[in-house]
Amino acid sequence: MFSFLKILARNLILGPSTDPFPHGETFTPEGLRGKIRFDASACVGCRMCEHVCAAGAIRIEETADKSGLEFVLWHNSCAFCGLCEHYCQTKAIRLTEDWHMAHRQEEKYGYVEKGVVGYVPCSRCGDPMVPVAPQLMKIAYRETNRDIEKLRDLCPDCRLKQSVGGR
Amino acid sequence: MSTYTIPVGPLHVALEEPMYFKVEVKGETVVGLDITAGHVHRGMEFLAMKRNFYQNITLTERLCSLCSNNHPCTYCMALESIAGIRIPERAEYLRVIADEIKRISSNLFNCSIMAHIIGFDSLFMHVMETREIMQDVKESIYGNRMDLGANCIGGVKYDLTAEQSQYLKAQMERMKKPLEEIYRLYTENPFVRMRTEGVGILPKEEAVRYGLVGPVARGSGIAYDVRKKSPYAAYDRLDFQVQTEQSGDVLARAMVRLREAQEAVGIILQCLEDMPQGPTWIGIMPEIPAGEAVAKSEAPRGELIYYLRTDGSDTPERLKWRVPTYMNWDALGVMMIGNKVSDIPLIINSIDPCISCTER
């Protein structure tokens, strides 16, 4: 009995241990899995994020005018599991530390993360293709040189021809 | 004296989760018990067959919040056993760390609820405050306070940097003293003892007969622990004791849980010491062939078994799990008889019921 009175007295002296939020600062650790940020310049359209997303929150579809791929993530479905970030080779998807997610019901359908990966023409045949992100080049070739850089602007078919034919 | 039947639940203030009990009482003493489940059934076994292997990692994690790391971990173990993957050694240690962090939080949560039920709310708050250290650890290392998202097929998704290891070590050292203090309070405080000693007794023979697992079985003197009996991850390289108690009452189960939390602190510190450098996952997305596997692990509530059958496609053909709470429910029939009506919530809490596990 006495031992608990001691703890009570100690806790009284120390005061509340809860954060004073929203009247004061609260603790947000580095690496908190919050709102998702999409970087279109790093995306290579592999659709792995769409495949692993348990909630079906991510959709990647061709835009209506067929000018590129549109990435849409609906924050209301997202479970913040981080699988998309883990399996994204080029780190185009990142979970930010932003946990301020409250929004009005009327904003529900607009509360999304969007991005468009515009197609670029293949430098040889001119067919539209998803641009090859420098991040992917780094994973594939580690160091790039002029010959490898040339491959970057080629569509998969032309790239194959170039690599095999060497021209 | 005539007997009455009292309905308890499905929603009852002291239980906080939906489960329906038909309690037969004679005077103030419980003489019979009937349990009806299924109020929050979610059909997750069916759902798992509709999703691919990766999506199921997240789905299984949402099965239950308190043992949420064990579910994806065991699921990944089953997949890895089908695909013949051996995960990197560092990943094995990291899986143990995630497991034990969840174990400390889960066990402290149950013990604090016990204090709340017996009306000792300042003790409840004190234990919860101590548990808050663990919650902050989870948030800082994994990025979430409940669902760690630590596992992936072929290893773990997270790594500990030197600073994070230091931080984790410091927090574990910080847990030692309060855990000791709480254990002493639970075992010595006259109020706690008065309400919990000799209440809800489960004899060893009955525990064997019902096939009980986890702290409930260990509180009745059965030294069964998956971590020792069939070690997974890095448990075969770690030094720890299986905690048991002989008396089989509510207090014994709480004592087992608190001592396990203390053991877990030691396990995490050992892991931080022994953990080798290296990759944390296999780095590729493996092909999963057709096959079947059973994997099991020791969740905070006891042995968790996963059965997985695949057919070569990227969705499971069948995923079935047996959760620890499932058997423990039945034993309530033994524990309740002969106890007072006022002890019903206390005894129910002592099996650490997980309704979301039972009614997945």
Same domain, A132 and A110: no
**What is the pLDDT, as a whole number, of residue B261?**
92
Same domain, A110 and A129: no
Domains of chain B: residue spans and CATH: 42-322 (1.10.645.10)
How many angstroms separate the CA of residue A53 from the nearest CA in chain B? 6
Same domain, A135 and A110: no
CB pairs under 8 A between A and B: 77
Domain for residue A13, yes or no?
A: no
Same domain, A111 and A133: no
Q: d(Cα B248, Cα B258) in Å, to the nearest integer?
A: 15
Domain for residue A65, yes or no?
A: yes
Same domain, A112 and A60: yes
Q: Which residue of A has its CA nearest to B149?
A: A81
Domain for residue A63, yes or no?
A: yes
Residue B267 has pLDDT above 90, yes or no: yes
Domain for residue A134, yes or no?
A: yes
Chain A residues with CB inside 8 Å of B58's CB? 54-55, 79, 81, 83
Q: Do A3 and B59 touch (CB under 8 A)?
A: no
Looking at B12-94, which runs of residues are DSSP E strands? Answer: 20-26, 29-36
Q: d(Cα A10, Cα B310) in Å, to the nearest integer?
A: 56
Q: d(Cα A126, Cα B306) in Å, to the nearest integer?
A: 52
Domain for residue A18, yes or no?
A: no
Across the range B203-215, mean pLDDT stands at 90
Residues 193-212 of B with CB under 8 A from A: none
Same domain, A42 and A71: yes
- From the list B57, B122, B144, the residue facing A80 with the nearest CB is B144
* Cβ of residue B191 closer than 8 Å to a chain A Cβ: yes
Same domain, A66 and A127: no
Domain for residue A3, yes or no?
A: no
Tokens read off for B335: 């524990």
How many angstroms separate the CA of residue B75 from the nearest CA in chain A? 15
Same domain, A112 and A49: yes
Give me the tens of pLDDT residue by residue for chain A, a chain 167 residues long: 677 888 888 888 988 888 888 888 888 888 888 899 999 888 888 888 999 998 889 999 988 888 889 999 998 899 998 899 999 888 899 999 888 888 899 988 888 888 888 888 888 888 888 888 888 888 877 777 777 777 778 888 888 887 777 55
**What is the pLDDT, as a whole number, of residue B12?**
73
Q: What does B260-301 look like in DSSP terms, one character per residue? A: HHHHHHHHHHHHHHHPPPS-SB-SS-----SEEEEEEEEETT
Q: Which residue of A has its CA nearest to B151?
A: A83
Domain for residue A4, yes or no?
A: no
- From the list B52, B58, B189, the residue facing A81 with the nearest CB is B58
**What is the pLDDT, as a whole number, of residue A166?**
59
Same domain, A111 and A139: no
**pTM of the full structure:** 0.89
Q: Do A1 and B191 touch (CB under 8 A)?
A: yes
**What is the pLDDT, as a whole number, of residue B309?**
92
Q: Do B56 and A32 touch (CB under 8 A)?
A: no
Same domain, A140 and A114: no
Q: Do A81 and B147 touch (CB under 8 A)?
A: yes
Chain B residues with CB inside 8 Å of A8's CB? 122
Domain for residue A81, yes or no?
A: yes
Chain A residues with CB inside 8 Å of B191's CB? 1
- Number of independent structural domains in chain A: 2
Same domain, A133 and A85: no
Of A30, A81, A99, which to mutate for an interface test with B (greatest number of B Cβ within 10 Å)? Answer: A81
Give me the CATH number covering residue A76: 3.30.70.3270
Q: Do A1 and B123 touch (CB under 8 A)?
A: no
Same domain, A114 and A36: yes
Write the pLDDT tens digit of every residue in B273-305: 999 998 998 888 888 889 999 999 999 988 999
Write the pLDDT tens digit of every residue in B143-193: 888 888 899 998 899 889 899 999 999 999 999 999 998 998 888 888 888
Q: d(Cα B287, Cα B86) in Å, to the nearest integer?
A: 14
Q: How would you write chain A as a 3-class SS string?
A: CHHHHHHHHHHHHHCCCCCCCCCCCCCCCCCCCCCEEECCCCCCCCCHHHHHCCCCCEEEEECCCCCEEEEEEECCCCCCCCHHHHHCCCCCEEECCCCCCCCCHHHHHHCEEEEEEECEECCCCCCEECCCCHHHHHHHHCCCCHHHHHHHCCCHHHHHHHHHHCC
Q: Do A83 and B149 touch (CB under 8 A)?
A: yes
Residue B230 has pLDDT above 70, yes or no: yes
Instruction: Specify the DSSP class assigned to residue B88.
Output: -
* Cβ of residue B5 closer than 8 Å to a chain A Cβ: no
Residues 26-85 of A with CB under 8 A from B: 27, 29-33, 51-55, 79-83
Which of A153-157, B43-47, B100-104, B197-201 shows the lowest per-residue confidence on average (mean pLDDT)? A153-157
Question: What domain range includes position A131?
Answer: 120-166
**What is the pLDDT, as a whole number, of residue A3?**
77
